Each structure stands twice: as structure tokens, then as C-alpha cells.
Structure 1
Amino acid sequence: MVSPTKIEVLTDLSPFIKVYTERLLGTPHVPPSPEDPTTGVASKDTTITPNVSARLYLPKLSNPTQKLPILVYYHGGGFCVDSAFSCQYHRYMNLLSSKSGALVVSVEYRLAPEYLLPAAYEDSWDALKWVCSHVLDHTHFEKDQWITNHADFNRVFIGGDSAGGNVTHNIAMHAGSESLPGNVKILGAVLSYPHFWGSNPIGDEPTEDMEQHIAYRLSLFVYPSAPGGIDNPSINPLADGAPSLSRLGCSKIIVKLAEKDDFTSRGLAYAEEVKSSGWKGDVEVVVVEGEGHCFHILDPETEKAKNLIKRLASFISQ
């Protein structure tokens, strides 16, 4: 099913001018379900702050007091399209929750160009803080009963794909310098096809007309005020002068990549830099041959997609 294009007013200076945003990618939004017919996972929507909402996924329970790992997930879409409520992410989160046995919080952060970076980073950090605040007896956030009753705060994970993989890195770095509510620690981070780029090509990246690559242009479009431009550490964590990756605030990382994805060379370099940085955690790298960007989300029924989802589920459930 193809989503109709969505046109929104970005700036209204009537009667002089209106500036519109037309989003060309993304899938239709779908409602949550008390029980997904394929996986049995329950889902519901919640508001976290005036700027941030989320869809929660609860797998089938073996007993009513069962504690589960919790995954805070950040969707992809180049910081400017797609949604936690889209058809493809709803399908993927149902599968991931079912296979991993995790309570999933899929975050709906603000998108560019209406809300330029670092808005998505701020929203994503607020969402993680909201989740962790459930460990406290008293908080100014409204608590959710699924999280209160079933979250194991010794098994907190963050993850995302593409732009969401970039967000995951930045949130892990933030957690390395600022404590979360209740001093909750992030156990693991999942970076799938992370959106990293830079001014100097790495590996198989194009050596000519680097500035014309869509990743380069998109990065500057969604973060035009970034100090250092394309080599801002949030976009290029390998840039000269970027904070040491030894500061990552989690205990283990899995970097998932695909052979035919333009982000793979930089993803591999990122993983190697983490390993050599002095960071004390464990790094796992997965490169799936013959596949492209976000293939396991776009078509989760292929054998390679099923195997990758199974491996990710194992990373979370172990």
C-alpha cells in the first residue's frame, strides 16, 4: 500500500507567502491493537510530553507479574519522514517485541523541517527519561502501568535504524555524561544502518562530489545550524575533535549493517573506533551480505530478515 503524499504548511505569512512541506516517503499510520493477530502482542499509544508521544508494545506474559527487558526505539526516516505509528514500524515492533520478549516504547519525535535538529535528540532523551522515571516513587511524569508493572530496569535497551541509529548513538553519549532518573543504566544499544556521514570519504563512500550525496545534503538540511557542519560530532562521531567514544553510556552495542547500504563503511569504522577507544563494553557487528538499507524492516518475511531479527532478539533477551 502506497501512502498518499502529505502536504503541510511550514510557514504561513499570509497574505504574502506560504511555505509548504510535502513528504514523499512513509507508510500510512495504523492504530494500536489490544492483541496483534499474528504475534499476540498488545499495543497502545501514550503522550509523554507536549512534543513527544509513543506507542508501547507488550508481549504475551507467562504470569501477570512478569518483568521484561525494555527497549526504547527510535524510528528511521532521515529525521524528516516516517513515524512510530506507521504501518511498517508497527509491524516491525510487533515482531521485535514478540521475538525478544521485550516491552517496547517506540518514540514519536519531532521531524524536520518544521523542527530541525537537535529537536529529535531532545525529544528522544525526554522519552528515555520518562521511561526511567518509572523506577522512582515520585515523579512529575505521568506513569504508565505496563512500564510500572513489567519493566526490568536492570535490562534497559535503546535502539533505532538509520536516523534512529544516529539518535541511539547520541542518546548513548548523552547517558555517558548525564545520569538518568533513578540512576538507571542502559544495558545495551542497537544501531541499525546508523546515519553517520562526514566531509572525508571512508571505505566505499564516493570520492567525488561528496557534497552531492543525499546523506550529505540531508544531514545539512535537517541540522543547518550544526557547529562544524557535516562534521558535527552528532552526524560524524569520527570527526577530528569529536568526543571520545569511550564515553558511551551503555554496556554493550550491536551495530547492524547491510552490504549494499551506503552507510556500511562508516558503520564499520564507527564500530572499530568504539573498540579502540578504551570503552569497556562489548561490541558486536553484523553485516548482512547482498542486502540494502533497512531491508529487514521493509520486508521482514525474507529468510535473511528473519535471521537478523532473531539475532537482535537474542541480543536483547540474553
Structure 2
Amino acid sequence: MASAAGNKSKEIETEILPAIRVYKDGRVERLMGSPIVPSSLQDPETGVSSKDIVISHHPSISARLYLPKSTQFKPNKLPILLYFHGGGFVIESAFSFLDHRYLNLIVSEANVVAVSVEYRLAPEHPLPAAFHDCWEALNWVTSHANSNTTTEPWLHHHADFKRIYIGGDSAGANIAHNVALRAGVEALQGKANILGAFLSHPYFWGSLPVGSEPNEGLSHLHARIWNLVYPTAPGGIDDPALNPLGPGAPSLATLGCSKLLICVAGKDALRERGVWYCEAVKKSGWQGEVELFEVEDEDHAFHIYNTDTHNAKHMITRIASFLV
């Protein structure tokens, strides 16, 4: 029996390289992802302060909060950004090096209060778990809007709840889209509203190719990832959560924010979907302001992997200028 169990622990159930390997005994091996780093009361490069908090124990939802250096000198009210990290719903963390460095830069340049959500990852917690976690995190943030309590003093003292933004990269951008749709039909705690959302290199896909995409159907990497992270999705890879124009998808006119920034990269395999999504929003009858921002000759999430390049700095500046 022990030998059989040992053999099973070595048998691979699913493998999506170079990101993740799932074994038949349920063990998950993450092959990518930057290391976890601690929060800091004052980042040496940006002066941004950060700390980790628990939003919920059941389910387990936590976050890393960020305050810009400006708050050290006066208790001014600043826009608030609820951020959702990328990683295909399977890797990375709100506490990882790449996202911590990126949020420090965004918070410093935009002069905002940020809440980076640590949502549950698939395949241990398949979708829609991440969607639920991020919705709960948004409501936790907005619950401070009309409250006299100091549940979280950084929000109570420094956040302007008339300027709430959500945003994310890749899978995080997919989450931002789905959260914005839900906010369009369901009231938030504190009677708050989302002012804007940015979607960087959004993870959208579907069974039919868009633009110059290859016609690979279920064999494409993006389809395989989706089937791993959301095996019970009612519409498969055309489920509205992945394909915003799929069968039965809600109208994009119901997006619950007033302005939208879509960022794409010229060499990114998801570029066509980002452009397509932007045009679909414009044609939907949505009453907000939507803008497409493209950086040519760059690939997926380039601005997170290497923040020191001219193009990365340009993109971070553009996102920061959106958060006003």
C-alpha cells in the first residue's frame, strides 16, 4: 500500500509549463513565482509604508496595505486603489517580491492608499473563489466609507471613499472586470461606488479567435489554464467570466464604474483580446470614459518583471495618472 501511495504521489495529473504541476494525489507544485517578502514601515526606495492585515478568516482573505510618504507629513485624504495581482489564478501573491515592488512604485507615483488582495489560489481553491474573495475585500474597504469606527486606521484617516479605484494585471485584470460588473448590479457596503478601473494585459479568452489570434481552441495555453482553475465553469472557455462577449454574458454597459483604462502590450498573446474588449465597451452603450493604452514591442506584464526600463516607467506613470 505504501508503495502504491508513493507511486501515486509521483504521477502527474495536470502540467502547465512553466507555471504549475498537479499530481494525482492532489499535491501542487508551483514552478514559478517570486519569493514572499515582508511589509515595510518605510520602503528605502520610495518611502512607502506597508503592513499586512486580515480581512476574513472564513474564507481566508488577507491583504497588504500601502501608504505613500506624503501621509507622514499631513493626514490628507487620498484616492484608494484595491489591487488584484496576476499569475493565472495559480501563482504569485500580494506578498510576493514582484507585486510588492510594483505596488510601492504605483503608490509612490500616484499618491494613493492601496490595498493589495491576497485571494485564494487555484487549483486548491478553484474559481469562483478568487472572484468571491476580491468582492469581499472590496466590501471590506467600502464598509469604512460611512463608519465612525477605526476598524482600519489607515483607511479611516487617509482614504477618500469618493475616489475608489480597482485594478489588476493579467488574471488580476480579469478579476477587476468581473468585480466591476458585479458592482454595476449589486450595492456595495457604505453606499460607496467605484470611480474607475484599470485592466492591464487582461486575461480574456474564448473558443473563437479574435484578430490575429491562433485558432487553437481548447489546446491553447490560455484555455488550458482556465480549465484547470475553473473546471466547473458553466460555459467552459466561453464562460462570461473569461469571455466577456460569450453566450449569456451580461451587457458591458452595466460596468459599475465611471472610467476605464485598458492597457495592452504589442507582443502579448492577449493583446487582441484587450483591444477587442475596449472596443466592445465603447459599443455597449456604457456611459463612462474608456481609453486604450498600448506599449509596442513589449510582452505580457513587462512592467512588473522589470520596472527599471523606460517603457515600464512610462506605463507605471500612465496608470498612476489615471488614479486621481
The answer, yes or no, to whether TM exceeds 0.5 is: yes
Q: Contact 1:7–1:20 at 8 Å: present in 2 too?
A: no
Q: Percent identity?
A: 53
Structure 1 residue corresponding to 2:278, chosen from 260, 271, 291: 271
Q: 1:67 maps to what in 2?
A: 77
Q: 1:14 maps to what in 2?
A: none
- Give, in angstroms, the shift of residue 98 of structure 1: 0.1
In 1, Cα distance between equivalents of 2:180 and 2:167: 10
Q: Contact 2:50–2:66 at 8 Å: present in 1 too?
A: yes
Quick check: 1:57 aligned with 2:63?
A: no
Q: 2:200 maps to what in 1?
A: 192
RMSD: 1.8
Q: Contact 2:172–2:202 at 8 Å: present in 1 too?
A: yes
In 2, Cα distance between equivalents of 1:19 and 1:41: 39
Letter in 2 for 1:36: D
In 2, Cα distance between equivalents of 1:217 and 1:287: 26
In 2, Cα distance between equivalents of 1:88 and 1:73: 14
In 2, Cα distance between equivalents of 1:241 and 1:125: 21
Letter in 2 for 1:205: E
Q: 2:308 maps to what in 1?
A: 301
In 1, Cα distance between equivalents of 2:279 and 2:100: 32
Deviations 1:243-272 (A, max 9, x none): 100000000000000011111101111000
In 2, Cα distance between equivalents of 1:6 and 1:202: 25
- Give, in angstroms, the shift of residue 138 of structure 1: 6.5
- Give, in angstroms, the shift of residue 6 of structure 1: 11
In 1, Cα distance between equivalents of 2:248 and 2:217: 21
Quick check: 1:169 aligned with 2:196?
A: no
Q: Secondary structure at the match of 1:293?
A: coil
Matches of residues 203-218 of structure 1 in structure 2 within 5 Å? Answer: 203-207=211-215, 209-218=216-225
In 1, Cα distance between equivalents of 2:245 and 2:25: 39
In 2, Cα distance between equivalents of 1:74 and 1:204: 28
Structure 2 residue corresponding to 1:160, chosen from 155, 165, 168: 168
Larger deviation: 61-70 or 275-284? 61-70
Q: 2:49 maps to what in 1?
A: 42
Deviations 1:184-241 (A, max 9, x none): 010000100111000000012102x322111011011100101111111001001133
In 2, Cα distance between equivalents of 1:313 and 1:48: 26
Count of residues paired in the alignment? 304
Q: Secondary structure at the match of 1:115?
A: coil
- Give, in angstroms, the shift of residue 136 of structure 1: 2.7
Q: 1:21 maps to what in 2?
A: 28
Q: Contact 2:265–2:294 at 8 Å: present in 1 too?
A: yes
Quick check: 1:245 aligned with 2:252?
A: yes
In 2, Cα distance between equivalents of 1:7 and 1:273: 32
Q: 2:264 maps to what in 1?
A: 257
In 2, Cα distance between equivalents of 1:118 and 1:143: 27
Q: Secondary structure at the match of 2:98?
A: helix
Matches of residues 49-128 of structure 1 in structure 2 within 5 Å? Answer: 49-50=56-57, 51-61=60-70, 63-128=73-138
TM-score normalized with structure 2 length: 0.91
In 2, Cα distance between equivalents of 1:48 and 1:77: 21
Q: Secondary structure at the match of 1:164?
A: helix
Q: 2:322 maps to what in 1?
A: 315
In 2, Cα distance between equivalents of 1:268 and 1:136: 37
Unaligned runs of 5+ residues in structure 2 are 1-17
Deviations 1:264-299 (A, max 9, x none): 101111000100100000001011100000000000
- Give, in angstroms, the shift of residue 109 of structure 1: 0.1
In 2, Cα distance between equivalents of 1:281 and 1:53: 31
